[in-house]
Each structure stands twice: as structure tokens, then as C-alpha cells.
Structure 1
């Protein structure tokens, strides 16, 4: 049996919020508990690693990205990347550009969505660029075709930033919602609900649109803009029962994205650290389609018998935040019974990545 015992850490686990040690065996979390009990579950032959107070938490899930992003993701504590095929080329305006050169660097697990003009039976779904010159009827036609084929569609801008045209993101988002409404009118809401399409939201979304997305089972992906600020109405989307996945911003730091959700420019749209962390980890797995190509060895929680896929972080401080992100209440009292997270206030440095484990082994480390 391949086993490792991690001790003297802070284990982010809802099943044991007081855990400071973890036993990893045969690719899964075999035990969680205290340092005092560790010697009872692991013999002296099991290798031990002193975490020296580091935080062990579920790895991040990047809900959109490229093949290059997947190669760099492990060093950002990210274990799964949704890859939009061809996005590398489209974002540079070069439809026929060659794919990135191979790299010997270990890569994160990938879930690939094919481009609409390609055929790939092994893809998890199809991504539909919403700002790529398609007219409204053509985009709606592609969504309808995906719905009828039972294939999840991911409506995402072809260009990750719109610095040359700040209104382009809003137009792309409006076009995507209009296409979904058109298909719902044609095929009915239950047809869309069975497929659970995905939508990138980059800006405001009114109550009617949020209610519509919730009614057809569409999940949304949000990310900080080039300035590191979230513009999407994250609290309102969650309140309206729309599944929300949080992506990293241009700097690629997932913790910066989590902090952006706590410091939304609209105080009514701020959410708690726990909600933001869930959106950046667990939700990205939940919204994947139920097809073989979308199944990865990752876990949304650190619990016994779950895949031992997680990241290790050095943090200057850990806290339990108030469930209401609009209330500046913080606590380090473990009696709260809530898993601790790194402090994300503006005065505290963001967590520093130490290692990423995939399937019970270290895949990358600082």
C-alpha cells in the first residue's frame, strides 16, 4: 500500500473541521483526525510530512481555460481545468494557429469542450463563442442543435478581454441569453434543463434573466475583470438558485478571485468566503455534464474515501468568516465547527502555494 501521513496542518474538511492530520493511502483520503491520534492509524513505516501549520484544502477547479492554462494550473493549486478547444487561437484572432508546444511540466486534469466547427466524440460538450460574429439566429440554432443532441453547450466570449471595446462583453452576454430564450420558446424549458447548459456572465444581469436561467438549469461562470474586480451579480445569482462557478482573473490567482467576491463593488453582491471558495472548487465539478469525458479524479470535499486531490497553502492567518459576507465578522475560534480558510482581508497577504496533490501523490511543489 502506498501511504503518506500529513501532520501539524490545518485540514479544510467539513466532516472534521478540527482535523490537523490526514492519512493518504492508495490514492484516497484514508483518515482525518488529530496529530495525537495519527500514530494509532499509521505505523512507523509510513512516511510522514510535517505541514508546519500549512492549510490543506480541496484543489481549485478552473471553469474555463486553454491547454496552456492546464499546464500551469498545478502551480496555482488548481487540479482541473475546463479547456475550450481552439480558444488559444481565437483569443489572438488566428483561427488556424498551431496549438501550444508540448511541455514536460505536469498538467492538471482537463475537461475539453470542442469548438462548434469540429467533431469530437470524446469532448464533454461544445463551446459556443458569443462574440465571434454570429448573428442571433445562428447562435440560437447552435444552442438548439446541442439541446436536441443532448450535448451541453458552454456559451463563452471568444475573447477573454474586451479592452478595445468595453461594451463587447455586455453585447456577448445579451446575445447568449437571447439565444437561450429563443431555444426555450422553441423546445421548452425542460429540454434545456435536461442538458444543463453553461453561460459566462461578465456584467449585470437583471432579476428576470436570473430567474429564467434558474428555471432552465443553466449554470454561470464569473471571473474578475482586467482590474481584478467582479462585475457579475454573484450574490443575486446564488440567491436565485443559479449554480455559480468562479474563475480566476487575468493574474491567474484563484485566491484573488475568491477575495474579489468578498469585496464586490456593490455591497449587496458580496458573498462569504465559504460561498466563494465553494464556487471556485466544488461548483466547477458539479456543473460538468454526466458524460465519460467529464469525469475526473477530483473531489469537491476532503472526506474519508474521497480522492486525495488537494492543494497545500502557506497562510499568514486563518479565519472563520460570518456566513453573511456583508458583515465584517471574523473569528479564529475553532469551536465554531466550521472549516478554517486563509484570511482574505485586504491587510493580509494572499495564500502562497506550496504543493498540489493529484490522486494521492504530489504532482507539483514549490
Structure 2
């Protein structure tokens, strides 16, 4: 290992909020201090980087990523509102993608992958159909995933080859959820090994370019294979890429199930993530206490038991058994929970896992296992009390609120303005002491940590806004904490801590000087707090100059 001295800049460190320089030696932070002292250390460093006023800060942790699908989405036809502002533009993009693929695959067998459509963002507000895809792609098999990844539209050719019309979750318009979605996705992601590895690498390289030093991979049978997870973890250790903290979303019933999975995947941080209690708001499959305002029958409603209030994929008993099994072995468990009815089921599951009458061992083992929940859009006072009692942490995605929130957003269309206004209570969660980590759920929302932080500090409800510092810590130290790796000092720039860091150039730096919202951004108002780039929504996006994992650059514009 070598040593690197960063000087003539700003250092985000609680240990020394006014530091201007930092020395990294053998992968750890060896010194933090003033510029005048740095001058005497330059001769001993193997590399000296003049920051020219830039900021050195802890690297980001994205606490919820689907790496394979993110890599594929980055190379798929872009149907997102940013790439296709109208329904017609989306179909034009499909047609252009089909022409490009025709040139490379004249036999027409390869599936055209498209990603990110959201009809609520189009003026027409009309979903795509298989007939649309057939016409645009000239009969080629097409898999067009919605932005939420919980439903998709497929072409006739793909539906026929996979026998989707015989499966629950199929609709004649080509919309698929549930079992039909799983099978369609499996067909679409039948890729040569080299293509899969390329997708992993593309996603992780993009993360590194954005100052992300670690990702929590939420692998599951419906997103990737066990072997794929092994390949991904190995890739992140063999190449200069962000660290992969691996989770596997498989429901277990007994401690033996847990041990079998850990024997197969000994590097797992936990058995959770995409163990889905319910679905998504966009697909109307999130399990709600009250029906959707804009209820429409789900595909295959006769088979799914659709009553207009979404779908619960797991019972409280199944949730309790999973948590009890994980607790017995001392491994972290967890679930995907979106709707308020799904949160009710989780709370019941926690109580079952703790109840000695139901085979549990009390709240102690549950707390010791540090279970986690993904998303958690609805957390009322009762749920909050249970999460605190049982020591549950939350992995949340603030960019969901900035993407789908607001009085005209998707959530308001699905749920009504009143219900949508009670979602994502960031400040309540943080104020109660619930451990929080931020993530993107990429590719559902883009890998973009600053977007998440801005969403958290500019929540539509001013009472639910976080401070810039609290939001930043949730996206840095919070990720290490949820994975049980905070004991290493990761997530802080202090002497002896691993050098997981990023260097940022911004127009201005400072702290929030007053109030809960973005009322003032001032370098003079630091009051001993570490600085951050300006987080106002109209401020220029900070530019990542370098990302370093354990002292090794994984993205470097200084080279």
C-alpha cells in the first residue's frame, strides 16, 4: 500500500471540523489537520493531491441496489421520463432500439430490454401495451420494465415463448405482475456469462463515479441467481470497484434453512432485502389498509385475489418464522415492506417471533440480530414503537419521495393527496432513534446519493425534513451501521478509520444555519460542524473528483 496526502481543501470530519488536509497510509486515515502542518508531511507521502479548495468526505453507501438490473438498465432502451417525455417518444425509442439490435442480431432472437416507463409522467397517462411493442419492434421479443420493477409490459413474441398467458399475473394487454413477471424477467435475463459480468461491472463503475464506496446488493431469486451473487462479490474484491455487501432475499422457515443458505453463501450479511411482504404503489400491489383511489383490477385478478387494496405475499406467521429462524442463528433478517397493511403484518410477525407461546425466544434475540426493513413508507406511532422495541433498522429511499411524491405525483394519484402526505416520515424516524440508511433501490431510482440527500432535506412536509448532516450520515455511516460494520470506524474520517472517501467539487460549501428546511446555507455558520456542498435544489450537482475504497482509488480524475 502507499500513502496519499490531500491538502489545501476542506475535510468533512467530526473529529476536526475545520481540517484542511488528510493523510491516508496503508488504507487507513493516518492524520487529519491544518494546511500548515500538511506542508511538513508532503515529503513522506507517495502521492500529494492539491485539492484546490475541494471537499474530502466519507464515501457514500447505497444501502439498497440491484446490481445486475442496474447494469442492464444502464445499457437498455431508456423509457424514463427524462429520456422519453411522452408515450409516443417512448415507442420511438423502442423502435430505434430494435433497429440497433436488428443490426447486431439479424435472427431476431435476442430480447430487447427497455426500462423506466411511468405512464403517470406522460401527458397521455396511458400504459404501454404488447400491441404497441409489437408494432414498434417489428415482432421482436421485448421486455419493457416499469420504473418500479414490480410490473412490466412484454411483446407477443416474448409472451408466447414463455407461456405467460397461462400464468397468474398475465393480462391480455401484455402487462405482467407476480408469477408472470418473474417468468418474463427470467427469460429476458437469460444472458451469456460475459454479458452478466459486464452488467455487474457497468453498475459498480457507475457507482464509483458518484462517490459510492459500498453497495448493499439485494439479490433474490427473481432478480439474480445464487451463482450470480457469488460472481458479483468476487468481482468487487478482484477489481477496483465499490465493496458489495451481500444480502439474499429467500424466505426461510427454520434455523436449518438459514444454515443451509449460509453454507452456500458464507459471505452474506443477512437473509433479507427482497423478501417481499407486498409489492409497489405504482403497480397497485403494495398492501394497503384501504383500497387504491384509482383502483383497477390487477392482471389475473381471479387468481391474485385482488380486492383493490393490493397484495400481501406473506402472512404474519411466515414473517415471524423467518425472523425467528434468523434470530436463532444470529444472522440479520429482513423484508421489503411498502404499504401500511404490509407494515401491520410485519409488526405481527415481530410479535410472533418474540412470543414464547409461538416458539419465539423473547425480544432479546430479535434485537441482537439487528433485523432490517426496506422502504417502510408508512410508519405510524404503533409501528414505530414496535420497531424500537425489537431493534429494527430501516433502509429507506428518499428519492422515491422526490420522484413520486407531491400533490400531482404518482402517490397522490394512487392514494389520494391526504394519504400520500403521510408517507416517508424521515424526521419522525430519525427523532425516535431508529437507525436509518439511505439507498436508491437502483435501478428503480438512479444511483444518485445527492438526490437522496436533497430529497430528505427538502421533504414536502417541512416537519419531516432532516438536517443536511443527518441526511449525509444516513447515506454514509448509516449504511455501514445497518450492515453491522460500523465497529470498524467506516463512515467517518477519523484517525484509524478505513479510508473510504470521496472528493467533491461544488460551487459553495457550508451548513444549514437555521430551521429544519433549506433556509440558509452559509460557510460562516459552521459552528464547529463539518461542511457539505450546497444542497439547495437549484444548486449545481457536486462533481465527484475521486472515490477511494480502503485507500485504493476506484474512480480518479486526478490520475
TM-score range, shorter-chain basis? 0.7 to 0.9
112, 117, 120: which one pairs with 2:262?
Answer: 120
Deviates more, 1:148-157 or 1:303-312: 148-157
Q: Which string of whole-angstrom CA distances, capped at 9 and with x for unpartnered residues, describes residues 265-317 of structure 1?
A: 1111111000000111111111224xxxx689772210122111101111111
**More strand by percentage:** 1
194, 203, 222: which one pairs with 2:377?
Answer: 203
310, 334, 351: which one pairs with 1:154?
Answer: 334
The aligned residue for residue 345 of structure 1 is: 536
Q: Which string of whole-angstrom CA distances, capped at 9 and with x for unpartnered residues, describes residues 240-279 of structure 1?
A: 1111111136021001100101111111111100000011
CA contact (8 A) 2:513 2:526 kept: no
Matched, 1:314 2:505: yes
CA distance in 2: counterparts of 1:193 and 1:337, whole angstroms? 34
Cα distance, 1:44 vs. partner? 6.5
Runs (5+) with no aligned partner, structure 1: 158-167
The aligned residue for residue 207 of structure 2 is: 73
The aligned residue for residue 222 of structure 2 is: 90
CA contact (8 A) 2:3 2:45 kept: no
Q: Which string of whole-angstrom CA distances, capped at 9 and with x for unpartnered residues, describes residues 97-130 of structure 1?
A: 9849977974211111223267124112201332
Deviates more, 1:356-365 or 1:275-284: 356-365
The aligned residue for residue 257 of structure 1 is: 452
CA distance in 2: counterparts of 1:296 and 1:155, whole angstroms? 24
CA distance in 2: counterparts of 1:65 and 1:14, whole angstroms? 28
CA distance in 2: counterparts of 1:361 and 1:63, whole angstroms? 21
Matched, 1:287 2:490: no
Runs (5+) with no aligned partner, structure 2: 68-199, 252-259, 280-312, 406-422
Matched, 1:27 2:62: no
User: After superposition, where does 1:217-232 map in structure 2 within 5 Å?
Assistant: 217-223=391-397, 224-225=399-400, 227-228=402-403, 231-232=423-424
CA distance in 2: counterparts of 1:62 and 1:25, whole angstroms? 25
CA contact (8 A) 1:129 1:155 kept: yes
Cα distance, 1:190 vs. partner? 2.0
Secondary structure of the residue that 2:53 maps to in structure 1?
Answer: coil
TM-score normalised by structure 2 residue count: 0.57
CA distance in 2: counterparts of 1:330 and 1:64, whole angstroms? 30
Q: Which string of whole-angstrom CA distances, capped at 9 and with x for unpartnered residues, describes residues 115-155 of structure 1?
A: 32671241122013323733332222212221222221021
Secondary structure of the residue that 2:209 maps to in structure 1?
Answer: helix
Cα distance, 1:323 vs. partner? 6.8
CA distance in 2: counterparts of 1:226 and 1:234, whole angstroms? 11
CA contact (8 A) 2:402 2:455 kept: no
Bigger Rg, structure 1 or 2:
2
CA distance in 1: counterparts of 2:480 and 2:66, whole angstroms? 17
| Change in 2 beyond 3 A, CA 1:44/1:236 | closer
Matched, 1:129 2:276: yes
CA distance in 2: counterparts of 1:119 and 1:244, whole angstroms? 27
CA distance in 1: counterparts of 2:461 and 2:494, whole angstroms? 35
Secondary structure of the residue that 2:472 maps to in structure 1?
Answer: helix
CA contact (8 A) 2:510 2:526 kept: no
- What is the number of residues matched between the two proteins? 347
CA distance in 2: counterparts of 1:97 and 1:299, whole angstroms? 28
Deviates more, 1:235-244 or 1:225-234: 225-234
Secondary structure of the residue that 1:52 maps to in structure 2?
Answer: coil
CA distance in 1: counterparts of 2:491 and 2:27, whole angstroms? 15
Matched, 1:245 2:415: no
CA contact (8 A) 2:23 2:31 kept: yes
Cα distance, 1:171 vs. partner? 4.4
| Change in 2 beyond 3 A, CA 1:323/1:30 | farther
Secondary structure of the residue that 2:353 maps to in structure 1?
Answer: helix
CA contact (8 A) 2:511 2:526 kept: no
Cα distance, 1:199 vs. partner? 0.8
| Change in 2 beyond 3 A, CA 1:194/1:37 | same
159, 184, 192: which one pairs with 2:354?
Answer: 184
Secondary structure of the residue that 1:259 maps to in structure 2?
Answer: helix
Q: Which string of whole-angstrom CA distances, capped at 9 and with x for unpartnered residues, describes residues 172-197 of structure 1?
A: 44433332233233432223112111
TM-score normalised by structure 1 residue count: 0.85
CA distance in 2: counterparts of 1:14 and 1:300, whole angstroms? 11
Cα distance, 1:48 vs. partner? 1.4
CA RMSD of aligned residues (A): 2.8
Secondary structure of the residue that 2:536 maps to in structure 1?
Answer: coil
| Change in 2 beyond 3 A, CA 1:295/1:198 | same
**More helix by percentage:** 2
